[in-house]
Structure 1
Amino acid sequence: MTGAVTHSDVTRTETVVGRIARLADDVRRRGLPPHLRADVARRVLDVLGNSLAATRQPTAGTVAAVVREWGGPADATAIGTGLRLPAPSAALLGGTLAHSLDFDDTHLPSVLHPSSPVVPAALAVAEATGAPAPALLDAAGVGVEVAVRLGMGGYDRALGNSVFFERGQHATSICGAVGAAVAAAVVRGLDADGIAHAAAIAASMGSGLLEANRTGGTVKRVHCGWAAHAGVVAADLARHGLTGPPTVVEGRFGFLQAFCGEHADVDAVVAGLGEHWELPGIFFKPYPCNHFTHAGIDAALELRARGVDPARIAEIELGVPGPVLRTIAQPPEEKARPRSGYHAAFSGPYTVAAALLAGDGPEHGLGLGHADFTDEAAADPDRLALAAKVTCVADVRCEEIFPEQFPAVLRVRLTDGRRLEVRVDANRGGPGRPLTPEEHAAKFRLNAEPVLGSDAVRAVSDAVLAWPERGEIAPVMDLVRGA
């Protein structure tokens, strides 16, 4: 069976997936408002930069080797490999690259990194179908919105945390698979029924466990790749006639009940859908490490700016929201001596020590950079000695703010007995402290220039930022394909 098919009209009911599909279909036909398209263009550029920076990571080589073995038609770009692959394979590699350095955007309070699974899926399908750039932005934007809305459905205000996270589930890859399917279906030109079925199919495909954050392993880097792959496949399956349940989100055995149980909040998924957009409030990351560590880094940089000499520090206390401790502070012995640069990116003690010692180094003007998360940097004796002085604790005020922000307080006792404190309630990169256009440009340059060179970096940046009005995808993807 080939080509588009007619589905049963699941969207005539008031099911959640039906309402999502109607919004996505409206965006497909009418387009996003200009300010949202511009926001998505910045996110696409952010994903491309993060992906290019990750091309030399071992996990990228692993996934590239697998998709090479799979083979297939040369429909879409496998970033940094010189290859063109089938769209699902390109999405698998693209999503893996986008998430590999933990430099991807974050939505609060769902604690999702939505662009990493959604944008690679939309890019792969758009390139394979020859879709124009504005249509790509529309599809990616609504896919990101769907992903974070599902994540919000798993946020328990009484608990003060994501239920997905409490249960050890990676909400980014679980919800991202559905968002990626919506984006892929919109690019493919599926109608509301087809989009609904694509989303409902992908709801059976998302997965991801967070244990690697605690005790090691590189599998988490592939989570967003698999979600992007699943989204592309789900849209294709819907296009060829596979169907999903109309109550896939809210049903007794549906998405939210299965993952979050009685703590699920179906209303949060659809409240103000199409009227209020979460999209522009999603945080961009200034540092290539777990977002829970960022406020601690900001506090450490502030202490350094005040002239605090790390050699004169006797002890450090890092206060954070209680739920954050499991990711950046436990087990304590693992976090004080991270086993690799990747694990250092999930360590509160290490990131505080790195910021106090490295500060705003020569790599760029944002703070910590990729050089702070190499295996060599993670094994640096000076950083480890300072990290050993850090004790991580739950802080009441931080818990009151979390997870609308990821706050931190840093308290330092110096060898002369003086005590200093810096409290950071709002993260850089969000609506309250947005990155400037110059900082966005610096981040993309940091990520892409070692791979592309300065001329290509400017060409890619200029082209993508013009996509809300016009442009073709192919010339940009030709530049990021690499050798």
Structure 2
Amino acid sequence: MAEPPGTDAPYAHRLAAFAAACRDRPLPEVVLDDVTGRILDTVGNCLAALDLDDPAEPHVAIARIAHRSGGAREASIPGSADRLPADRAALITGTLAHALDFDDTHLPSVLHPSASVVPAALAAGEAAGADGAALLAAVAAGNEVCVRLGAASYDPALRNSVFFEKGFHATSICGTVGSAVAAGILYGLTERQLADAIGIACSMGAGVIEANRTGGTVKRIHCGWAAHAGISAAQLAAEGVTGPPTVLEGRFGFLRAYLDDAWHADPLLAGLDRMDDPDHWELLRTVYKPYPSNHFTHPGIDCALALRADGLDPDTVESAELGVAAAPLRTIGEPREHKIRPTTPYHAKFSGPYTVASALLGGGGLGLHLDDFSPTAFADPRRLALAARVTVVPDAVCDDEFPRAFSAVLRVRTRDGARLEHRVHSSRGGPGRPLSLEELETKYRLNATRVLSGADADALAARIRGLRDRPALTGLLPGIR
């Protein structure tokens, strides 16, 4: 490979050189292992989402539209024997990947990289006839570019991503660029074409996050749309469409358009030429979710589970106060009338009161699982009555820790006057508290066996673990018998 561009080269060209190096050079073993886990987790999340078969579910609606459109049988979809054009397959798979809000999260950018990048890579890789090793390299490069763009948006003064402060969904916006990089690698784009794919993708990313606060199903499409748009950007670059070289840092470029002047180049560019050292990989700071809800709710769930384990009877709770950082409070605590009585089961995943009440009552899986957000659970009067007794408030300690870690404190007063408190400084699965391999495997199997037999779920996991030696991607994803 040619020498990497110098420090005065446009940012897109430097990212493209990094992506080409991921394809052309061996990646650190820890990165390959990490990416394999990302694919396993994402596919498990997709399969579990298939259990939501209401015709109004976004992935079901999108599948109807995609199948009506026809086209080349290029790429597979989890749970289906059908194959569709790669961009439409990625649209469905990416929507499935984000449908349950169970997808991984990078800190401090607070975005979900794998739910866009993995579906784009699976579809583009199958369409291109790539092997498993190329898929791993593509996901590694795409996730890395995605989370670095997100990290560039973190403002220490705000203690938050500027994307989120302005109401943009960083997951879908940055995920479009990461998906373009992943797809471009698998389509065999040159380094210059990869830079063009980045330039094109920067005009395609979109997403606003008001649905986190007040409901709506459109957010579940965001990762699918990012995967779809990323593949389209790579295909356009392959056909000769070009992007502006300074698309990221230019006066009217991506960073200024979305982030004004509150962006930082170092998190985006530092160490791109030293990726043989795992310490320079941002994707390794991406954490898995143990619970299928907005990640900001997780430390409160941890606190509630801990108090329950210590013997708290939820029926004795007179009031509870959940303390979190100011930025998460806007998502999981406001507006209060929506949070104590969410409008849909999915909306409940963004409610601090609902998730605390569910954990106090005792949930499934690793502490809370999908059945805790079922229509039956969502309408449970006991759960809703307990949620109405939970207030979400700002906490200064949590502010200091956010967003390097998601923390919370839960203070409970019981009817007999007892006062109980539990604080977590990093949610389960987060920094210093990673999920074990056994827990990740348990999460995958709980998800996959909602639609597959145990034997089929285990066989799929074995295929994913063996990606390094897999000669083709066709047949990787299972249909449902």
Tell me the TM-score normalised to structure 2 length: 0.95
Partner of 1:54: 49
Contact (CA 8 Å) 1:340, 1:374: kept in 2 or not?
no
**Counterpart in 2 of 1:412?**
412
The separation in 2 between residues aligned to 1:206 and 1:70, in whole angstroms, is: 23
Give the secondary structure class of the aligned counterpart of 1:228: helix
Equivalent residue number for residue 14 of structure 2: 19
2:251 maps to 252
CA distance in 2, matches of 1:320, 1:236: 43
Q: Which amino acid aligns with 1:147?
A: C
**Alignment-mate amino acid for residue 387 of structure 1:** A
In 2: Cα distance, 1:303 partner to 1:33 partner: 41
In 1, are the aligned partners of 2:76 and 2:474 still within 8 Å (CA)?
no
Instruction: Name the aligned partner's letter for residue 178 of structure 1.
Output: V
Distance across 2 between alignment mates of 1:14 and 1:267:
14
1:319-366 deviation digits (Å, cap 9, x = unpaired):
00001111101110000001111011000000000000024x3xx3x1
**In the TM superposition, what are the counterparts of 1:132-211 in structure 2 within 5 Å?**
132-211=131-210
Please name the residue that 2:428 is paired with. 428
Contact 1:107–1:283 at 8 Å: present in 2 too? yes
2:341 equivalent in structure 1? 337
- Residue 129 (structure 1) shift: 1.4
User: Could you tell me how far 1:189 is from its partner in structure 2?
Assistant: 1.2
Matches within 5 A, 1:220-235: 220-235=219-234
Match of 1:125 in 2: 124
Structure 2 counterparts to residues 254-273 of structure 1, below 5 A: 254-273=253-272
What corresponds to 1:465 in structure 2? 465
CA-CA distance at 1:241 after TM superposition: 0.1
Q: Percent identity?
A: 55
Question: 2:51 touches 2:450 (CA, 8 Å); kept in 1?
Answer: no
Query: Which amino acid is the alignment partner of residue 482 of structure 1?
Result: I
Q: Does 1:356 align with 2:360?
A: yes
User: For the Cα contact (< 8 Å) 1:10–1:193, is it kept in 2?
Assistant: no
Give the residue type in structure 1 aligned to 2:10: T
Alignment partner, residue 34 of structure 1:
29
CA distance in 2, matches of 1:68, 1:233: 18
1:34 offset after TM fit, Å?
1.7
Could you list the runs of 5+ residues in structure 1 that have no partner in the other structure? 1-8
Residue range with higher mean Cα deviation, 274-283 or 175-184: 274-283
**Structure 2: 5+ residue runs without aligned partners?**
275-279
1:442 has 2:450 as partner: no
Aligned partners of 1:91 and 1:228 also within 8 Å: yes
CA contact (8 A) 1:106 1:284 kept: yes
Counterpart for residue 399 of structure 2? 399
- Name the CA shift for 1:420/1:274 in 2 (closer, same or farther; >3 Å): farther
Following superposition, the deviation at residue 127 of structure 1 comes to 0.7
CA RMSD between the two structures = 1.5
**Residue type at the aligned position of 1:48:** V
Secondary structure at the residue paired with 1:393? Answer: strand
Residues 1:243 and 2:238 aligned together: no
Structure 2 distance, partners of 1:282, 1:319, is 24
Please state whether the residue corresponding to 2:106 is helix, strand or coil: coil
Cα distance in 1 for partners of 2:399, 2:440 equals 29
How far is 1:467 from its partner? Answer: 1.8
The CA deviation at 1:229 is 0.2
Q: CA deviation at 1:431?
A: 4.3
Partners of 1:453 and 1:471 in 2: CA distance: 25
- 2:100 and 2:240 map into 1 onto residues whose CA distance is 37
Instruction: Tell me the TM-score normalized by structure 1.
Output: 0.95
Residues 1:205 and 1:101: Cα distance change in structure 2 (over 3 Å)? same
CA distance in 2, matches of 1:346, 1:334: 10
**2:368 is the counterpart of 1:373:** no
Contact 1:178–1:199 (CA under 8 A) maintained in structure 2: yes
Match of 1:70 in 2: 69
Q: Deviations over 1:396-451 (max 9, x none)?
A: 00000000011110001111111111101112223411111211111111111121
How many Å separate the matches in 2 of 1:211 and 1:171? Answer: 13
Separation in 2 of the partners of 1:208 and 1:427? 26
In the alignment, is residue 219 of structure 1 matched against residue 218 of structure 2?
A: yes
1:317 alignment partner, one of 321, 326, 329? 321
Counterpart for residue 279 of structure 1: 283
Separation in structure 2 between the aligned mates of residue 468 and residue 151 of structure 1, nearest angstrom? 28
Deviation at 1:273, TM superposition (A): 2.4
C-alpha distance in 1 between matches for 2:343 and 2:242: 45
